[in-house]
Amino acid sequence: MKIHFDKLYKDDRKDELLGIGVPFPKGELSKKDFERLAVLDSGSIIPSQFKVTSTWDDGSIRFVYARFLGSLPGNAAKDFVLVTTSSFIDSSNAFADQIDNNLVTKTQSTISFSNGIINFRVSDFQSNIFEGLSVDGHVFEKKQFVGPNLKLDGCTLPPIFELWNVVENGPIFTILEATGHFDDRDKNLSGEGIKFTLRLSLTSDKPWIDVAIKIINCTQETIEPDQLVFEIRNLGKEKVTPRTTVGISNYKTAFDSSDDGAFVSQLITAEKLEKEANEHFAEVIYGTFLADVSDFGDGYGVCATVFQAQQNFPKAISAGSDGIKIYLLPNKHEVAEVSKASPVRFESGMAREQRFLLHFHESGEDLYELNNRSIIYQMPDTGYVDPEVFEEAGVFPDIFLPSDKQIDDVEIALIDKADSHARCYGMLCWGDAPDPGYTAQGRGGGDLVWTNNEYDYPHAMYQMYARSGIRRMLDYANVACWHWMDVDICHYNTDPLFVNGQWEHQRRHTGGSEDGKGSKGIMACSHEWVEGLIDHYHFTGDERAMEAALGIGENVLALLDTPEYQKPGEISARETGWALRSLTALFVETHDKKWLGKADWIVGQFEQWNDRYGNWLSPYTDNTTIRVGFMISVAVGSLMRYYRVFSSERVRKLIMKAIDDIVDNCRTPHGLFYYKELPSLSRNGNNTLLLESMAIAYELTGEDRYLDYGIKTFRKQIVSSSGAIGNKKIVEDTVMVGTGPTKNFAQSFLPLTLFYVKAVQANKLLQ
Handedness of CA 711, 713, 717, 719 (dihedral sign): positive
- DSSP-assigned letters across all residues of 289-348: EEEEES-SSSSEEEEEEETTTTTT-SEEEEEETTEEEEEEE--HHHHHHH--SPPP-B-T
User: Domain span at residue 60?
Assistant: 2-93
Percent of the chain exceeding pLDDT 70 equals 95
φ, ψ dihedrals at 601, nearest 5° = -65, -40
Is the same domain home to 264 and 203?
Answer: yes
- pLDDT in the model for residue 89: 53
Same domain, 346 and 429: no
125 shares its domain with 38: no
State the Cα–Cα distance between residues 288 and 282, nearest whole angstrom: 12
> Is there a contact between 171 and 204 (Cβ–Cβ < 8 Å)?
yes
Contact indicator for 133, 142 with CB cutoff of 8 Å: yes
- Phi, psi torsion values for 760, nearest 5 degrees: -65, -45
| End-of-domain residue from the set 54, 71, 93 | 93
Q: Judge if 160 and 226 occupy the same domain.
A: yes
The closest alpha carbon to 448, from 438, 456, 457, belongs to: 438
Beta bridge partners of 256: 246
CA dist 349 to 134, 580, 596, 676, Å? 37, 26, 29, 36
Same domain membership, residue 89 and residue 126: no
Put residue 663 in one of left, alpha, beta given phi > 0 → left and psi -120 to 50 → alpha.
alpha
Asked whether the beta carbons of 74 and 103 are under 8 A apart, the reply is no
Mean per-residue pLDDT for 191-199? 97
Cβ-count burial 315-335 (b if 16+ within 10 Å, e if not): bbbbbbbbbbbbbbbbbbeeb
Looking only at the bridges linking them, the beta strands covering 227-233 and 145-152 are antiparallel
Does residue 388 lie within any of the structural domains?
Answer: no
Residue 86: pLDDT above 70? Answer: no
pLDDT band at 138 (very low <50, low <70, confident <90, very high): very high
Question: Shortest CA distance to 363 belongs to which of 261, 219, 437?
Answer: 261
Q: Tell me, what's the pLDDT at 96?
A: 47
Closest listed residue to residue 42, CA positions, set 69, 2, 81, 86: 81
Q: How many domains does one find in the chain?
A: 3
475 closest CA partner among 283, 741, 280: 283
Specify the 3-state DSSP secondary structure of 265: strand
CA distances from 4 to 285, 411, 535 (A): 20, 21, 20
**What is residue 580's predicted lDDT score, i.e. its pLDDT?**
94
Nearest to 717 by CA among 406, 397, 399, 416: 416
Residue 99, pLDDT above cutoff 80: no
Integer Cα distance of 666 and 616 in angstroms: 12
Task: Tell me if 433 sits within 8 A of 742, measured CB to CB.
Answer: yes
The yes-or-no verdict on residue 652 having pLDDT over 80 is yes
Q: What is the Cα–Cα distance from 36 to 173, expressed in whole angstroms?
A: 19
177 in a structural domain: yes
* Residue 93: predicted pLDDT: 44
pLDDT tens digits for 282-338? Answer: 999 999 999 999 999 888 999 999 999 999 999 999 999 999 999 999 999 999 999
Instruction: Look at residue 90 and tell me whether its pLDDT is greater than 70.
Output: no
CB atoms within 10 A of CB 380: 14
Cα torsion 642, 647, 648, 651: sign: positive
Query: Within 13 Å and on the Cβ side, how many CA atoms surround 104?
Result: 23
Q: Do 71 and 130 fall into the same domain?
A: no
Are 682 and 676 a contacting pair, CB within 8 Å? Answer: yes
pTM (2 decimals)?
A: 0.96
Work out whether strand 145-152 and strand 138-140 pair parallel, antiparallel, or are unpaired.
unpaired
Local structure of residue 379 (DSSP, 8 states): S
Look up the CATH number of the domain holding residue 172. 2.70.98
pLDDT in tens, 711-724: 999 999 998 666 55
Paired with 122 in beta bridges are: 111
Question: Directed axis angle between helix 573-590 and helix 629-645, to 10°?
Answer: 20
Confidence of residue 667 (pLDDT cuts 50, 70, 90): very high
Q: Are residues 518 and 493 in the same domain?
A: yes
- Supply angle C-alpha 116, 122, 127, rounded to 5: 140
Mean pLDDT of 26-44: 93
For residue 241, give the DSSP letter: -
Instruction: Report the DSSP beta bridge partners of residue 165.
Output: 177
Count the helices and strands in the chain (H runs, E runs).
Answer: 18, 35
Q: What is the pLDDT of residue 237?
A: 63
For every residue of 517-536, DSSP letters joined together read SS----B-GGG---HHHHHH
Residue 759 has pLDDT above 70, yes or no: yes
Would you say residue 529 lies in a domain? yes
Start-to-end C-alpha separation, the chain = 31
Q: State residue 610's pLDDT score.
A: 87
Residues 609, 614, 618, 621, CA torsion sign:
negative
Q: Look at residue 188 in the predicted model and tell me its pLDDT.
A: 86
Residue 254 lies in a domain: yes
3-class DSSP assignment, residue 506? strand
Q: What span, in angstroms and rounded, lies between the C-alpha atoms of 591 and 373?
A: 42
**Which three-class secondary structure state does DSSP give residue 193?**
coil
Q: What local confidence, expressed as pLDDT, does residue 92 receive? A: 40
Q: How far apart are the C-alpha atoms of 38 and 48, rounded to whole Å?
A: 7
d(C-alpha 207, C-alpha 200), whole Å = 13
Within a domain: residue 317?
Answer: yes
Maximum distance among all Cα pairs of the chain, rounded to whole angstroms: 86
Last residue of a domain, one of 65, 93, 121: 93
CA-to-CA distance for 419 and 421, rounded, in angstroms?
A: 6
Of 59, 75, 93, which marks where a domain is finished? 93
Domain assignment present for residue 98? The answer is no
Beta-carbon count within 10 A of 644 CB? 12
Contacts of 650 (CB under 8 A, 6+ apart): 607
Given a cut of 70, whether residue 263 has pLDDT beyond it is: yes
Pairing of strands 728-731, 383-384: unpaired
Residue 88 has pLDDT above 60, yes or no: no
Check whether residue 114 and residue 210 sit in a common domain: yes
pLDDT of 187 reads 86
Q: Has residue 687 been placed in a domain?
A: yes
- Quote the CA–CA distance of 448 and 400 in Å, as a whole number: 37
Residue 370: predicted pLDDT: 98
Asked if the bond preceding 171 is cis, omega within 30° of 0, the reply is: no
pLDDT in tens, 383-429: 999 999 999 999 999 999 999 999 999 999 999 999 999 999 999 99
For residue 568, the model assigns a pLDDT of 62
At 36, the amino acid letter reads R
Question: Do 657 and 703 fall into the same domain?
Answer: yes
Cis? peptide before 148, omega within 30° of 0: yes
Pick the residue with more confidence: 606 or 161?
161
- Looking at residue 426, what DSSP letter applies? S
What CATH number should be reported for the domain holding residue 56?
2.60.40
- One-letter amino acid at 46 equals I
Nearest to 695 by CA among 682, 708, 712, 679: 708
CATH code at 520? 1.50.10.10
**Ranges 8-22, 512-526, 603-617: which has the least confidence:** 512-526
Q: What percent of the chain has pLDDT over 90?
A: 83
Question: What is the spatial distance between Cα 695 and Cα 705, in angstroms, rounded to a whole number?
Answer: 11
Looking at the fold, whether 431 and 360 belong to one and the same domain comes out as no
Residue 767 domain-assigned (yes or no):
no
Q: Are 733 and 346 in contact (CB under 8 A)?
A: no
- Same domain for 150 and 63: no
Q: Residue 375: pLDDT above 50?
A: yes
Contact at 8 Å (CB) between 317 and 328? no
Give 728-750 pLDDT, tens digit per residue: 999 999 999 988 899 999 999 99
Q: Are residues 48 and 137 in the same domain?
A: no
Average pLDDT of the chain is: 93
Helix-helix angle 629-645:649-665, to 10 degrees: 160
Cβ-contact 479, 431 below 8 angstroms: yes
